[in-house]
């Protein structure tokens, strides 16, 4: 099969022929229909987060089940599925206490002495974030995908696999936004726009979208933002004045120390800042200690604190009901061999999401 391979940090992905194994007892073989090009992949390409190489990248995807292992009970051949990088074992402490997105059990991976799921003529190929979806097929654990209704377009379903689940989940699960709450979202890329949409779906009374690009205003408002503010050094002051003391929930969806600090500083007393963006390894943030006397909180959110086998089909239903706005999130549909172009466009900040469509 054709796949986009990262062999060296700082270099473009290479389109190569990669061999894929047959499903083990709890594994599922999926024909990839669509894969979103996510900023997280760029972090690994640039070395901001380390990962063993060579690896097939990609982690936001949807497809059709082609084969299943002997013990698989969650999906069947022919099912349309959304994948999720937060594969879960189902029996560890995290899973049993309802925190499936935090599961790190090795049970969802093949043993080191077993045949690798992916190989190339030069040797084993690393599977990226349990998925490796920049490829014509994926071989994954059954607890890394969920079956969805077949009338859902798979190019839009792919977005739910990471960016939408991360943004909406951070709002609904991690920060528990309630009707009437005030919300600010810093960064209007795919994840930030999903957070904006999620806040609107949760009934937030005011949703302030913040981005450095003025061209994002109309898109953010189409997702449910009530206000748009250009990012910059005075953004905290602007938000504090607009809300007469700060917001109850803020969401940083870029991955920068400066914007993480801003997300905390724009809170009202008792507010919560949620860091969704991937701040590069080694970077730190600085906060005023006295602010904690106002019971302000700052916390991380991993994949929207999801329970994806339940959440993702519900998000599909929300899209089909016209509540989750996925159509406008797709800036461009591309072929696999255009993936490097998509990453270059991503760096400009002008696009929301490019989606690789494999049947195109």
| Nearest by Cα to 141 from 303, 63, 56, 28 | 28
Which pLDDT belongs to residue 112? Answer: 87
Which pLDDT belongs to residue 351? Answer: 78
Residue 360 has pLDDT above 70, yes or no: no
Helix residue ranges, H only, 57-210:
93-96, 154-159, 165-169, 190-201
Contact call for residues 345 and 332 (beta carbons, < 8 A)? yes
Which pLDDT belongs to residue 271? Answer: 98
| Nearest by Cα to 304 from 107, 97, 101 | 101
CA 225, 226, 229 angle in degrees (round to 5)? 80
Kindly state the average pLDDT of the residues 101-106: 96
Predicted TM-score of the model (pTM): 0.95
Percent of the chain at pLDDT above 90?
94
Percent of the chain at pLDDT above 70?
100
Return the active site residues. Answer: 38, 40, 43, 59, 162
Name the architecture of domain 176-300. 3-Layer(aba) Sandwich (3.40)
CATH 3.90.180.10 residue window(s) in the chain: 2-162+305-357
Which pLDDT belongs to residue 184? Answer: 98
| Nearest by Cα to 121 from 34, 202, 257, 17 | 17
CATH of the domain spanning 2-162+305-357, picked from 2.120.10.70, 3.90.180.10, 3.40.50.2000, 3.60.90.10: 3.90.180.10
Which pLDDT belongs to residue 256? Answer: 95
Instruction: For the beta carbon of residue 294, count every other beta carbon within 10 angstroms.
Output: 12
The Cα–Cα gap between 21 and 170 comes to 35
Residue 191 has pLDDT above 60, yes or no: yes
Retrieve residue 229's tokens.
Answer: 């503010």
Q: What is the pLDDT of residues 172-182, one digit of tens each?
A: 999 999 999 99
Contact call for residues 265 and 273 (beta carbons, < 8 A)? no
CATH 3.40.50.720 residue window(s) in the chain: 176-300
């Amino acid at each position: 099969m054709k796949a986009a391979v990262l062999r060296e940090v700082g270099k473009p992905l290479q389109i190569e022929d990669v061999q894929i194994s047959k499903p083990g007892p709890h594994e599922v073989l999926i024909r990839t229909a669509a894969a979103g090009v996510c900023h997280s992949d760029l972090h690994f390409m640039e070395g901001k987060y380390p990962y063993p190489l060579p690896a097939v990248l990609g982690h936001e995807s949807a497809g059709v089940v082609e084969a299943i292992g002997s013990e698989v009970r969650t999906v069947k051949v022919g099912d349309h599925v959304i994948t999720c990088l937060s594969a879960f074992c189902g029996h560890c402490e995290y899973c049993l206490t309802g925190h499936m997105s935090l599961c790190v059990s090795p049970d969802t991976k093949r043993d080191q002495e077993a045949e690798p799921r992916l190989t190339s003529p030069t040797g084993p190929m690393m599977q990226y974030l349990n998925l490796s979806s920049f490829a014509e097929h994926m071989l994954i654990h059954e607890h890394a995908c969920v079956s969805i209704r077949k009338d859902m377009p798979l190019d839009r379903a792919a977005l739910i696999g990471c960016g939408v689940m991360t943004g909406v989940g951070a709002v609904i699960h991690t920060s528990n936004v309630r009707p009437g709450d005030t919300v600010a979202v810093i960064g209007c890329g795919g994840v930030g726009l999903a957070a904006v949409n999620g806040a609107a779906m949760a009934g937030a009374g005011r949703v302030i979208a913040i981005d450095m690009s003025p061209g994002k205003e109309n898109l953010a408002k189409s997702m449910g933002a009530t206000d748009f503010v250009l990012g910059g050094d005075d953004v905290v002051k602007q938000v504090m004045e607009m809300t007469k003391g700060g917001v109850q929930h803020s969401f940083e969806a870029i991955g920068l120390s400066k914007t993480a600090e801003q997300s905390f500083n724009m809170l009202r007393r008792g507010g919560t800042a949620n860091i969704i963006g991937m701040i590069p390894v080694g970077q730190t943030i600085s906060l005023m200690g006295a602010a904690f006397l106002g019971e302000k909180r700052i916390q991380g959110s991993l994949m929207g604190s999801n329970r994806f086998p339940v959440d993702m089909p519900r998000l599909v239903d929300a899209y089909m009901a016209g509540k989750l706005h996925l159509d406008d999130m797709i800036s461009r549909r591309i072929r696999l061999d255009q993936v490097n172009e998509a990453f270059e466009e991503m760096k400009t900040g002008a696009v929301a999401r490019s989606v690789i469509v494999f049947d195109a």
